[in-house]
Structure 1
């Protein structure tokens, strides 16, 4: 099953099989954490519910675990149940930007062991530009679901494994941030600029066309294989600033048939908070 679903295909499902899926809006703004919920109330896909990046998809910060650490599995399961998710649900996720938050939710649902999850290609922008119906206000009341955790479908690596990889160079560390943040020229979210020593840059925006739908899978596969340079997909570790946009690269690789790469959720925001972490800044 493709990790993506088109707006038209979702509309058909909502029209003919309205109870077969759960649609979840996870729109967010890193500098205005309440903005996603406000945007949801102004307009959302009919029947959709809302989930919050920092309240539901992240654990509390300690100052040493990054800006969006993984939630406790039990807490995430409870959040999904509260929104009506069932073990048999097809869960369709979207956001109102470029898919970065939807990708984090897609990845987290798979981390909990639920395979039937898809990202709406083009998100809210494509839905509105397709002149499809929408609702306003708060989400509909729904009965709690029976969503449960199963064997994880995603692999997580921790700080220590990334640190050890600096010596072994077994895995390719891919940083999904924009090039200026990667090179240390522009940093507004974290206290230290630069990147993890040895990482390569793959800005997540390179996965998208101008309309914010995903590019052709053959093009994406060719580009990732060039970065892999003979490595297996399983030898890729994704990271970014805080474990959000890195999920977009993970999604793009899955879309391209390159499955099995891992996620360093703590990412740069955790790395730069740990004393002695090797840091590089590109000159020139």
Structure 2
């Protein structure tokens, strides 16, 4: 299981001595980390470390993945080796870079990864102390990655999937963005024709933490029906919050769905068809 309750964080740390990662995004991410973070947590920045941006988001979207060599070196600088436990949180209920980093580690075969349900706020509410002390570096050799590619899909595969009844494309953005009522980040409002909307926030309960596993299982069994999870593609605005849903599905025992990294930020910047309105 990959999702850890905030209340279980102290005992988990005592038992496993994990590498703790504070994963945040946004221009003020580091200052927020400096202001308060879990003791011993190292900072990882979504914008510069968990993404390898290009000048043209029309090719790969706003948060393209780093290449595997860059990822290998980053993990080494964080002290992450194949056998260690990694504990990840962010300040967006696990919906932002924590889930992205989890997905990146999982797809290269790392076994011991936990994402804190509810993130930093939930841990603070649980009485776990935070600090302003920046921990020393724990650099080791680059992480050995034994794969040449990650389980992602490109535009051509998405175009085929939305026409295939045995496949499913899930858009996890907020419903108003999917419907095309407004678009606060990308250039055009709307959604990929044929994609269905299952907002990532529906993975969470009223307390901002992940729903219990059995509820997630029931939810996503209803969503994907009899389809093979390998034929399910998940996307969002830029390939980050989609990982929140991939985490929820994995936790529910529905593995192997694919990530469309470019997501709406890539699709909407090209001359591809755009739909508006409710789920088909």
Q: Partner residue of 1:132?
A: 128
Q: Partner residue of 1:44?
A: 37
Is the CA contact 1:114–1:149 (under 8 Å) kept in the aligned structure 2? no
- Tell me by how many angstroms 1:145 deviates: 4.6
User: Any idea what SS the aligned residue of 1:93 has?
Assistant: strand
User: Any idea what SS the aligned residue of 2:19 has?
Assistant: strand
Is the CA contact 2:73–2:142 (under 8 Å) kept in the aligned structure 1? no
Is the CA contact 1:233–1:258 (under 8 Å) kept in the aligned structure 2? yes
Q: Partner residue of 2:23?
A: 26
- Tell me by how many angstroms 1:17 deviates: 4.5
Alignment of 1:99-178 (within 5 A): 99-100=94-95, 101-151=97-147, 155-178=151-174
CA distance in 1, matches of 2:29, 2:70: 21
Residues 16 and 260 (structure 1 numbering): CA distance in 2 closer, same or farther, change over 3 Å? closer
Match of 1:206 among 202, 208, 212: 202
Unmatched 5+ stretches in structure 2: none
Q: Partner residue of 2:61?
A: 66
Deviations 1:53-99 (A, max 9, x none): 01011112223220001111111111111111112111111001221
CA distance in 2, matches of 1:154, 1:221: 25
Match of 2:48 among 34, 42, 55: 55
Is the CA contact 1:111–1:153 (under 8 Å) kept in the aligned structure 2? no
Is the CA contact 1:114–1:150 (under 8 Å) kept in the aligned structure 2? no
- Tell me by how many angstroms 1:153 deviates: 9.9
Alignment length (residue pairs)? 275
Unmatched 5+ stretches in structure 1: none
CA distance in 1, matches of 2:89, 2:110: 17
CA distance in 1, matches of 2:15, 2:86: 16
- Tell me by how many angstroms 1:44 deviates: 1.0
Residues 132 and 166 (structure 1 numbering): CA distance in 2 closer, same or farther, change over 3 Å? closer
User: Is the aligned partner of 1:184 residue 2:180?
Assistant: yes
Deviations 1:139-187 (A, max 9, x none): 3232335422134896211111112223334310000000000000020
- TM-score (normalizing by structure 2): 0.92
User: Any idea what SS the aligned residue of 2:163 has?
Assistant: helix
